[in-house]
Structure 1
Amino acid sequence: MKVRGIYPDSYTYGSIINGLCKDGRLDEGVEFFDKMVENGLVPTAVNYNALIDGFCNKGDLEKAFCYRDEMIKKGVAPTLSTYNVLIHSLFMEGKDGTADSLIKEMEGNGMKKDDITYNILINGYCQSGNVKKAFELLDEMLVEGIQPTRVTYTSLIYVLSKSKRMKEAADLFEKVTRNGVTPDLVMFNALINGHCVNGNMEQALLVLREMERRKVRPDEVTYNTLMQGLCRDGKVEEARKLLDEMKERGISPDYISYNTLISGYSKRGDMKDAFKVRDEMFDIGFNPTLLTYNALIQGLCKKKEGVLAQELLKEMVDRGITPDDNTYISLVEGIEDIENFIEKGTP
């Protein structure tokens, strides 16, 4: 452009700033923003929003609010997008009170909530477990003539499940799907998680089959959730079958899948099977995590295999994994000659 004598305008800079911020290259985004100002171009709300969104995604709310304050100071009015991004980040940080204040400020500036705002608010209150407020916002949304989406209903299913109101969650799922809302993977995963957490494993597995009927492909989150639920019920063999089913369907198990099985076998005292899964995990290329070692050490200590547990502790430290309180609690409970263990010096 410069070679041809065409000088970039605020739109040119804005596109590059937006791209850099979305790519996580915030420092470069800020440099282009400053260069734009140096070249005499006036930043727009869109330019500021790109930086605010970038810093919010990075978790730097202080910097995001600094740019919000700067835009106001320079006479650039924040838009609904500005508020939506900031409100979402405040909820994610658990700062519900500050989010409420920002909503009042937004409305005081004559801005009405849109579908994105409502979904952010409903999800935010659902994350903090405020069922009443979430459903009040749903009612308000409908009164305003704004149609709830799958995102809205997924948040509500999540909060009902979390509040041990699983029947209401399942009823809501049935109602909205009957009324034409097509459930996606995230909505199905929320429902499955609810059934698993509430101990309804039979229902959770039926939901998996319903996904197949609707041709919604499950992912590793779906299977990991089901495996965790089965292992909590001591049905480790069934969880193992699900791991095999995952592989058959071309879904790659992750370290959570293997740690779930290791933990399930260890709690039941089936250490041979637990170590077999650990070896399988190694063969695939996954490194053991703190959870892997804690589950194995706990299982060995329950079986009074203190010497093996100590060897595993040494291996864990050699791999650069720092033991936590749970590691030592298991060891203290499982090692009979604890005085000798302490005298040797714990890693």
Structure 2
Amino acid sequence: MMDECLCAFDKMVKKGFLPDVKNCNSILKMLRNRKLVDKAREFDDRMGEFGIKPTIVTNNTLLDSFCKQGNVLMALDLLLEMQTKGYTPNEVSAYTFNLLLRGYYVKGMLFEAPGIEDEMVECLKLGRSFMKCWKRIWHQIFSYNTLIYGYCKLGKLREAFHLLGELRLKNLCPTIVTYNTLIDGLCRSGELDDARKLKDGMNNKGIIPDVVTYTALVNGACKAGDLSLVKQFFDEMLDKGLVPVRYAYITRIVGELRVGETSRAFSLQEEMLARGFPPDLITYNLFVDGLYHVTYTSIIHAYLENGQLRKAREIFYEMLSKRLSPLVVTYTALIHAHACHGRLELSLMYLSEMQEKRVLPNVITYNVIINGLCSLGKMNRAYDFFTEMEAKGIAPNKYSYTILINENWNIGNWQEALRLYRQMLDKEVQPDSCTQCIAEAT
């Protein structure tokens, strides 16, 4: 397709039909999008040979091509060339300088960007007016990033995203730092779906997610207790050729230990060692802390299994006194045992407590509560928790549906049982044989 366009261009010129600058800019953009930088530069030279005067769009397209490949020197050469051709800072615009800023990031020189003024003026003899424009834009972006970081730190994500909107309205391009700060803020606030969408949107803007991006996502998935998502982000990072930092490994290890997967945690430690990250004091402390959690949870679970609820609570409070944060498994075991013994108010108290401590309930936790409420005939409250679970992004499984279907069947509400069964199938949740029998009988 691209070769055909260039051939068509040559034929037009040979026949005496000179393309206008808009057509040439379109071809340049196609070359840029296909990362054919050398051909783009060659085509720009040919435009000059045929007397086609480049516009600011032409130069920005070329500059963008160079910067996306991290070829800052060629970009600076072009900027110098633009100055010698009489372009003023107002004509160059904020967008041009932002392209150059992105080139510095791609080259791994982002933090050198604010201090390059003197070096650039000396080496490339760029006009002071250009450099003032460059420095002003850099400081604007730096200021916005600082404010966005501050709002994210305070959990004020609405204000942070408002600033992102302002940044774009001023025709300033958000940097990788901007995106990483927002993604981290979303992950820390439990807005994992929005964080994923923002990560996906980065690629469309020509900003490639880096190790910092993925580490924030791994941390967010770990906090949400979604180990499958933790693994997905971690594997995606490896697939892109990014080398996980020590913190990314530690975050994964913490996640595995929190759900009692000690063997997987030790396996990750070995992988960490193989990648050149020898275990340090923090890693060892995490393992000790994680194993303490697992041990306490196992003891609590054993007492609950034997019906010794009071003793289990004593161990639980001992765990708290030692400043060990209970796991989702710990809370779910307590909720289940108290619900089974008809002490649903205590179960709900533990659920409320775990949410206050930012220990996120999982589908098993909700199923236990829903089952307990159904057993007491409190169907409306059971549906409230079913809805809450979905609203929090926790997909109901076959047990969630089976509990409600069975209870509706028992009280003669067959139409509702059938509705739930159909919803279950629509969401591709496979029913068990018992649920199928109920549906067929209905």
TM-score (norm 2): 0.36
In our comparison, the structure showing a higher alpha carbon Rg is 2
Q: Which has the higher contact order (CA 8 A, sep 6+)?
A: 1
